Each structure stands twice: as structure tokens, then as C-alpha cells.
A and B are shown apart, each in its own frame.
Chain A
């Protein structure tokens, strides 16, 4: 009987302890660190003409609202452009530059550029990872004859390196954005 008394005391003590836990604290907000909300491709022509930007922006991250895609202008036939890709997390203020992380872990990442068959455009990698394999946050783009089509930028995480292109690269897709462009 004494043990039962002791036990019930212990139970009451435990319960009152439990109910004392503070429940007034509201939880802390989480702004996701690794979310990529914005991809901006800047194409700077070698001839000094107008810079073209391609941007995909999805401020609410995954889900709900679809990304907003803007293209500042058309590519000029016969022009070569220096391309640079910037990835941002704009859910944070100031925005976090994710490109830096991709470049820090360059051997685990690679950008691929897929040009649709109707579009007369060629690309070439301009920067490499720490092992000398293509990374592709920087590239050159040469616009051929007047045409329209899509350029798809795919960032793969942990692809097989070196590889013969996106089909054999494997890995996990971190970014996949298609832009409809026109060469005039």
C-alpha cells in the first residue's frame, strides 16, 4: 500500500511537472537556406551591344505559385555572348548567393545546357571544377542563324564526372529551367 502511495505521488509530481512546460513561446520562423528562388543568366555580347538576361524567379519556393520567367530581349544572330549564371535565395534578406556554394563544391556540380533542335545556338563551358572537369556557371553562347526554340539549364548534383553530356551524367537535379528564346 505504501508503494502505491509513493507511486501515485510520483505520478502527480510527474504530471504537474509536465503541465508546467511553457506553452506561451511561439516558434521561431525558418527561412530556408538552401532554397533557390531565383536563377539569372546574364548574356554579355562581345560586341558591346545590349546585355540579355534570362530570369526565373519563384519567391515562395517549391509549391503554390509557379516561377515567373522573364527574358529581356532577343539574341543577335552571329554574336558571341559571355554567359554567367547567378543563383539566389531571395527568401532571405539580404538575398543569399547560392552560386558561391555551387562553386565551392564544384566537383559535385555541373550545369548542362540543352538546346532544342529548332534553335541555332551553340554553347561552350568557360569554367571548370577543382578537378578540371566542366562546371558551367560560366559559359559562352554563340547565336547562329535566325531561329526560335528553348534553352534548358539543368544543374545536377553529384553527376558522374567526367561525362559525355546530360544523358549519361546521372546525379540529382537541383535546377531545371527552360527559356524560350529567339535569335534575330
Chain B
């Protein structure tokens, strides 16, 4: 939610804020959201499908992401690899990303080429070929991607395994890229079934930002996307993670020099923008602890006590599934992960006991205000913000209201949220135990204090 734009805080943009973005819904259920920004003659198109790894089942983990790769393999009218060629020829660039909650595709092009890429996206929304030969090559690429991003990346491996322990029933326990054995057994038919089930206009929305006129974009959308047929979607069963009843711990051994610690607390995410307050309080707490160089963690744990080489917080206040508030860091020379954990716990206890100061809140608000202006510098960022908010089931129209609520968080709310959610029964701790590349002895990550 730190990515949201408070137009209310930028009065010089007020006129634009009321009319912009613009939205329409086609008869087939596809929504089109247009954010006009006339600063430079370029445009961004993003097509978001409401389907991600959260919708996968055991034995087929990673299929959402594999299908994302297959989306570049052609349709009856656009041959394999041709999509990329046409975007490149238009002077554009394109790519895609898959997350737990969504799969999204984007192109950035000179504005006069927007119609071309809209046509291309519309074509593959319903007409993809999932060819077995193409699949056989591409699944190898995905396995290389997994080796690169996870298997050979100690921190990513720790994060993957820690999540698999923190969530036992909920699909968030599975990695987005999929377990290797699932990838090894995946077939073109799995990918095709995924496409046929989820890739329909009524399960998607299109976000377009840039130097465009919304009326023209709506007309183009009608022309290209309007002819596609919608179809009923399978019912999505809600999957509730059973209550955690005690602290969980996991250790991962991997070749590395430095140990890593991740502490994840189960935390709420925003479902009702108006009624809830805790996700806003946690968001502001993240800023107070880790939002800038002067924030508590960097000041105290890195600079003053020198117990951490680096340290950070991850908290997403919006998501389709359950939330986590992560603390992660690397202990400095002479310190262990146990020392770092103790230091983080002490900082948490301080918030729980003493709360935070008005000055700290004020600083967090100042950061928020400035970041809203800076965010306008990127057309891509503006489209991302709309798309991500929508992916969690929250309307982009509520972004302004969320920022308003964020500004109004009180110190008491922050303290109450910290007390309620940072308890051992909600905690999973993951530690990376670094292994030597050769037989040379090294310092242990787990030795007791020196």
C-alpha cells in the first residue's frame, strides 16, 4: 500500500484526479481502466488475469507460471515467437509476470502503436495454441529459471521452504514457480486445461496508462476485445489456513558465506477499506521501523548496535490470501542469527510496550506524501498500482480513501496491532545455515553468543 497515490495530497492534480482514471466494462465482462498521462508520447498496456498460484492444486504447482511462458507460443494467426517480434518491430518492449494472486502481461510502446498491441493481446486471450513440441522446449526453460531463481539462490530457497512451513493448508505454501518434481511431470495438457479454464474476458481486466484518450481506447477495446466470448468460471473455494498453535522453525543449509534470518508473523490483510484499521496500522509500523535510512531498524540494529549487516521488512497490506509480516536480515561479523533474532524481538517488544512517537508517525506521513508525487514519474508504476490493487479485490477507486486512512493511523493503533499480531503463536522462523564451498572451516551461524 506504500505504492498508492493520494491525489488528495497533491492539490495541483485535483482536477485530473476526479476524472482520471476512466473505466468501462465490455459486454463480455472485460473491464478496461485507462489512466491518462500526457507527459510523453508513450503508452503502457497491462492485461491482468485473476489467476495465480493460489488457484493451483497439489501436483501441478507452477502451472500458472508455465502458462505465462506458453502465452508467447502463438495462435492460429500469430506464429510462435511472433508476438515478441511484432512488439519489437513496433519499437516496444513486453514481458509478463506471475504471482500468487494474478498473472499479468504488459507492453510499453510508442502511443501510436497501442492499437497493435491491443489486437495482439485480444488474440491470445482466447485463441492460444498450446503445442506439445513447444511445451517440451519451454518447460526446460522454466526449470532453468527455477534453478537460477531458487535452487542456486540461498535466500530464495530459505524463503520458499519457510513459507511451506508457515502455511500448511493454504495454497500460499506452494512456490509460484512450482516444485521441481511438478515441473518435471507437467504436460502440455495441464497448461491447456489451465488456459481453457481461466483465460476468459470476464476473468481479466485491462489497464492502460499513458498519452492516450480514454474514449479512443474504449473504442479500440470494443473492437478487439469486444468480440471475445465470456464463459462461466469454476467456483473458487475459500481455503482457510488452520489456526497456528505455536511457533514454527526451519533451517536450510546451502552454500553461502552469510547466514540469513527470516521471521514471519501471520498478519491481517485489507478486505474492507472502510471498516478495517489494522492493516493500515501495520503499514505505518513497517515505515517507522524500516521505511527510510533514519528508521528504527537501520538506525539501531545496523548503525548503532551493529548486530545486523542489513535488515528489512516486507508487508503487503492487500492480497487474495492470508497475510504475513516478514522481518529479515543478516547478522554482522561476530553475531549469530540468534543474536539478530533477539535484537528484532527486543525492538518488537519496545513497540508493544512503549509504542511509537508522534514524531515518527509524522515522518512516515511525510514519506508517504512525497512518494505519491515521485510515483507519478513512472507510467508503468501507475498502471502497476491500479492492477495490483484490483488483483486483491479492491477497486482502484478506493486507493485515495486507503491513503486517507493511512494518514490517519494513530500511535495507539500501531501499538495495539503490534501487541495483537507479533506473538510467538503466529511466528515462523527460518534460518539459512551457510555451508562452505570446500572443506575449509568457517564460523558457525548457530554458535552461542561470543
A complexed with B: no
Write the residues of chain B forming the contact surface with A, with a CB cutoff of 8 angstroms.
none
